[in-house]
Structure 1
């Protein structure tokens, strides 16, 4: 699991919100399967995950990160190289405070990962990621949306690449 479900929960804790799910739209599940880049293969995983949470009132968004380069240019106007692994995918998030993940290993143990560390996540800093792929308009919209819900966040300016 990655993204908003994690960092937004921490932002809710930081402001003392009783509703820890406030602002969380969905739960992102990233996986990396470079052996089959077809949408059909990704959709089989999506459908399997959806069946696993049926009736729980949870919106899951499983996505094969090995496929991002296939649709990113059409969606965001940027041609990007394929991600070789999940760490590269996470590092491409718009802000350094956001690429966090929780991984369940085969032996049932959870580990956490933060592509740029945890300091800015805990201090509420929205620093543009040096490896981010979001265009300026997407970056600005995300920052505005986050700050509307979590006013304690500190947005740092986007610098030209």
Structure 2
């Protein structure tokens, strides 16, 4: 991953007071192997690059963690309620937390395609519909940001929307249509 692009991503993340609050609160919750990923991260980069407000289009903050010790919904729900209590509205309703160790239990029923079990939270990024959106961050105890982007950050910073080369799905066309409706500056690569 490009050190320059990672630095640019970090600058954008740190400029968003709301995202930093979510990261600081998530760090304090000390969930196992946690990351904030998806739109909470990549959309801010797109907004920055296209001159939009950093919070434009942000619908939620995906907080993934990995706890294989209990993959029941009941155990996950305890964490969901704990996370909700850590935030005031409106963030209370915007932070969506999921145990990545149990995604394989419900994914096929919801999305109609198989999903092998994960071994860690970052592995979920390998399975996003678009490689461009496969980026997550964690705020460490010493305030460093750990950036995880298995496909790199080049396409994101070049405003190129590319499918995930490791996951063949029909969902990319829908993802591309939704993204280009909000950011017409994107170039879609099929």
Q: TM-score, normalised by structure 1?
A: 0.89
Verify: 1:114 aligned to 2:149, yes or no: yes
Identify unmatched segments of 5+ residues in structure 2: 1-35
The list of structure 1 runs, each at least 4 consecutive aligned residues, that deviate by more than 2 angstroms after superposition, is: 104-110
Q: 1:50 maps to what in 2?
A: 84
User: Can you list the C-alpha shifts for 1:48-96, whole angstroms capped at 9, x where unaligned?
Assistant: 11111123x1200111111111011101111221011122211100111
Q: 2:117 maps to what in 1?
A: 82
Q: How does 1:1-161 map to 2 (within 5 A)?
A: 1-17=36-52, 19-55=53-89, 57-58=90-91, 59-132=94-167, 135-136=169-170, 138-157=171-190
Q: CA deviation at 1:139?
A: 2.1
Question: 1: distance between equivalents of 2:185 and 2:43?
Answer: 12
How many residues get paired?
A: 153
Question: 2: distance between equivalents of 1:149 and 1:26?
Answer: 16
Identify, as 1 or 2, the structure richer in helix: 2
Question: 1: distance between equivalents of 2:40 and 2:114?
Answer: 27
Q: CA deviation at 1:44?
A: 1.0
CA-based RMSD of the aligned residues comes to 1.4
Q: TM-score, normalised by structure 2?
A: 0.76
| Structure 2 residue matching 1:147: 3-state secondary structure | helix
Identify unmatched segments of 5+ residues in structure 1: none
Are the structure 2 counterparts of residues 117 and 67 from structure 1 closer, same or farther at C-alpha, using a change threshold of 3 Å?
same
